[in-house]
């Protein structure tokens, strides 16, 4: 699991990245429900108003042998707000993982998504994974821009023209990923159709 990280956003707001806790369920639910309809469509690849209690439970109670999940909070320790969620699930090959990312609307384009992706890459590399991958809606230009900025290869899906496949290979000699054209990801059922959104 990721270590706790503290940093300061460009506007001086303190931010913290830490592993998700079961007690984060209400705040995570509020984050999801607080997204705009368009943001939720981008995140979940469909029109929803929220997630079921069972789905929420599965998001905060992770199997650390094959999952990684963390949250991003802003504010001071006495008054923090959960503004981001990032996670991956190792696929059936055991060599790659599908990931998902979500950042609250007012906190987008402030470096949180980039920081979360970098953390996922470090953790995946340390875990010995060979690649990270996901699916982004083709009309989600901000997320695709972030993926390219973070070194991910972005390729239009040959199965669904509304999706773009994004992937980054893990170089075991480095902390961060480099695009890999040869890898063919195998989706993990628990994250299938979970969109990426920043």
All structural domains of the chain, each given as residue ranges with its CATH number in brackets, are 5-191 (3.40.630.30)
Residue 18 has pLDDT above 80, yes or no: yes
* pLDDT band for position 195 (cuts 50, 70, 90): very low
pLDDT at 3: 61
User: In 3D, which of 195, 189, 198 has the Cα closest to residue 67?
Assistant: 189
Q: Write down the residue that tokens 């509020």 correspond to.
A: 30
- The residue that leads in pLDDT, 49 or 5, is 5
Residue 177 has pLDDT above 80, yes or no: no
End-to-end CA distance of the chain: 22
Q: In DSSP terms, which residues pair with 102 in a beta bridge?
A: 85
**What is the Cα–Cα distance from 35 to 180, expressed in whole angstroms?**
33
CB 8 within 8 A of CB 14: yes
Which residues does 152 contact at the CB level (< 8 Å), separation at least 6?
Answer: 166, 167, 168, 177, 179
- The residue that leads in pLDDT, 146 or 48, is 146
Question: Whole-number mean pLDDT of the chain?
Answer: 85
Of the CA atoms within 13 Å of residue 19, those in its CB half-sphere come to 12
């Amino acid at each position: 699991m990721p270590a706790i990280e503290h940093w300061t956003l460009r506007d001086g707001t303190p931010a913290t990245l830490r592993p998700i806790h079961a007690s984060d369920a209400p705040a995570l639910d509020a984050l999801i429900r607080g997204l705009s309809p368009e943001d939720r469509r981008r995140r979940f690849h469909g029109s929803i108003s929220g997630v079921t209690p069972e789905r929420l439970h599965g998001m905060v109670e992770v199997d650390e042998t094959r999952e990684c999940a963390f949250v991003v909070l802003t504010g001071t320790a006495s008054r923090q707000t959960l503004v981001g969620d990032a996670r991956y699930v190792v696929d059936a090959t055991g060599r790659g993982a599908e990931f998902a990312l979500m950042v609250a609307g007012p906190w987008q384009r402030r470096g949180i998504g980039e920081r979360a992706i970098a953390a996922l890459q470090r953790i995946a590399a340390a875990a010995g994974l060979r690649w990270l991958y996901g699916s982004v809606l083709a009309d989600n230009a901000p997320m695709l821009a972030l993926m390219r900025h973070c070194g991910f290869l972005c390729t239009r899906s040959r199965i669904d023209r509304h999706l773009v496949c994004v992937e980054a290979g893990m170089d075991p000699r480095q902390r961060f990923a480099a695009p890999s054209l040869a890898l063919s990801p195998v989706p993990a059922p628990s994250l299938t159709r979970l969109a990426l959104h920043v």
